[in-house]
Amino acid sequence: MMARTFWAAMALTASVAAAAAQEDVITVVHVEQNPAVQEFWEDLAKKFESANQGVDVQFQYLEAEAFKQKMTTLLQSSDRPDIIYSWAGGVLRAQVEAGVIADLTEKLDPAAKDMLLPAALDAFTLDGRIYGVPVRMTQVGIFYNKDMLGAANVDPASLATWDGFLKAIETLKAAGTTPLVVGGADKWPLMFYWSGLALRAGGSAAFEAAVAQEGEGFAAAPFVRAGELFQQLTALEPFQSGYMGTKYGASVGQFGDGKGAMMLVADFVLNGMKANAADGVGIPLDRLGFAPLPTVEGGADEPNATLGGINGWLVTEGASPRAADFLAFFMQPENQRMAAQKSFYIPTVKGLEAELANPIHQVISANLAKSTYHQNFYDQALGAAVGAVVNDVSAELAAGNMTPEEAADAVQEAYAFEQ
């Protein structure tokens, strides 16, 4: 059985090699699950192929967790794809240090660099060298159901501060409404709370000091404060019943079905809600509101700092020379315009703000434009190992199994071990 699989694999490799000899194949491995976005990209690839004879762009889509686990082996094998998806952060650094990612600094012309939002390009710049092209940015904030807040007489403006947010929770609970929905079984949705509060409590300075291991690192006061603030919230029992057994997809469906009034999540929720809501739509866009992370009293004076994801594409070392050309073509404003117009995602190309069709995308795009500091998701920024610990402690804080000090110490210990 094993031998048969082995020979099948050899035959497959041989056939792929034969195809490569005839034409220049660019393989792209990605995690996108939305068929509309996949179709949009494949159309772009066809355009590129017709303009470049002998080039064949092939997309492969993997589920995100499978992608993460496969990539370490795949990048070191002879079947290394030409272009891969990336969340930047610690995983990107590990890949760059392993020498499997191509340096694009010389390949990107200055005009192309100027086209991109600086914060987004920064995430793919390590030690002054550019290793990837950012494609989309997301922002974490409070998505709220306007009708449910209205029915309980909660003013959305009160969500601007943490105290106001806690009051809103109490009011909603008193009105018999489930205030918040979260996919606790996946843990990372709870990480948004802890890392968001750490950003508001300590700002960019606290995170940068912790990464540089100055002072107490991740055991420092702002990170303990984040846990304390989070437990002020969890003490109110704000989440839907059984939230620790709910996966992210199911939780988004519950939010879309009106089973809870608010959700602290990034704007990728808009696609997920459509896919998971019982009616295939969820909350209509005009009944959905967005508020940035609440500010905390005595916290960092950076109200415009944002938390969210920065996703991009990397070219691997030894990839087809046409791979970088395809990326440059892909990122041209006229090609990314469609993503904005069809509300697929918020592109990182400047000047497309006016084209965004989705009102919430417009709000978030404006927030990102005035953002003084964009914090990448902790579970990406700190790499797989420390990121998982951050997700763990966020879940333990929510369940009340850990004190804020223990949570901060656990993250610090995991981070120090990786240095």
Partner 1 sequence: MTVDYAGEGSATAASRGWKLRLVRRDEALLALVFLPPALLLFTVFVALPILEAAQYSFFNWNGFGAPEKFVGLQNYVRLFTHGAFHTALANNGLIILASLLIQMPLALLVATMLADREPLTDTFRLIFFLPYVLAEVTAGLIWRFIYDGDYGVVAAMTGWLGLDPVYVLADRNFAIYAILLVIVWKYFGLHMILFIAGLQQIDRSLYEAARIDGAGGWTLFRTITLPLLAPTIRLSIFFSVVGALQLFDVIMPMTAGGPSDSTHTIVTYLYNFGIIRTRFGFGSAVGVVLFLICVIFAFGYKRTVMRND
Q: Is the dihedral of CA 123, 248, 190, 342 positive or negative?
A: positive
Q: Whole-number minimum distance, CB 28 to partner 1, in Å? A: 21
Would you give the binding string for partner 1 spanning residues 261-300, x where CB under 8 A is met?
Answer: ----------------------------------------
Q: Does 245 bind partner 1 (CB under 8 A)?
A: yes
The three-point CA angle 141-145-151 to 5° equals 135
Q: Whole-number minimum distance, CB 65 to partner 1, in Å? A: 7
Q: Does 246 bind partner 1 (CB under 8 A)?
A: yes
**Piece of the chain touching partner 1 by CB under 8 A; list 146-154, 236-244, 279-287, 305-313:** 236-244
User: Are 116 and 348 spatial neighbours (Cβ–Cβ below 8 Å)?
Assistant: yes
Cα–Cα distance measured from residue 220 to residue 49, given in angstroms and rounded to the nearest whole number: 53
Q: Is the dihedral of CA 197, 203, 206, 210 positive or negative?
A: positive
- Give Cβ neighbours of residue 344 (< 8 Å, ≥ 6 apart): 34, 36, 37, 40, 338
The amino acid sitting at 281 is V
Q: Which of 69, 213, 304, 341 binds partner 1 (CB under 8 A)?
A: 69
State which H helix or E strand residue 260 sits in. none
Q: What are 161's two structure tokens?
A: 């501060």
Centre a 10 Å sphere on the Cβ of residue 56 and count the other Cβ atoms it contains.
Answer: 17
Q: Which residue lies nearer to partner 1 by CB, 241 or 372? A: 241
Q: Does 73 bind partner 1 (CB under 8 A)?
A: yes
Q: Is 352 exposed, middle or buried (0-12, 13-18, 19+ CB in 10 A)?
A: buried
Q: Which residue lies nearer to partner 1 by CB, 32 or 396? A: 396
Q: Whole-number minimum distance, CB 98 to partner 1, in Å? A: 3
- Give Cβ neighbours of residue 401 (< 8 Å, ≥ 6 apart): none
User: Are 247 and 118 spatial neighbours (Cβ–Cβ below 8 Å)?
Assistant: no
Q: Does 242 bind partner 1 (CB under 8 A)?
A: yes
Q: Which of 65, 79, 103, 109 binds partner 1 (CB under 8 A)?
A: 65
Q: Which of 31, 74, 94, 338 binds partner 1 (CB under 8 A)?
A: 94
Binders of partner 1 among 172-231, rule CB under 8 A? 184-185, 187
Cα–Cα distance measured from residue 152 to residue 91, given in angstroms and rounded to the nearest whole number: 43
Q: Whole-number minimum distance, CB 392 to partner 1, in Å? A: 8
Q: Does 100 bind partner 1 (CB under 8 A)?
A: yes
Q: Does 89 bind partner 1 (CB under 8 A)?
A: no
* Residues in touch with partner 1 (CB under 8 A): 2-3, 65, 68-69, 72-73, 75-76, 94-95, 97-100, 184-185, 187, 241-246, 254, 383-385, 388, 392, 395-396, 399, 401, 417-418
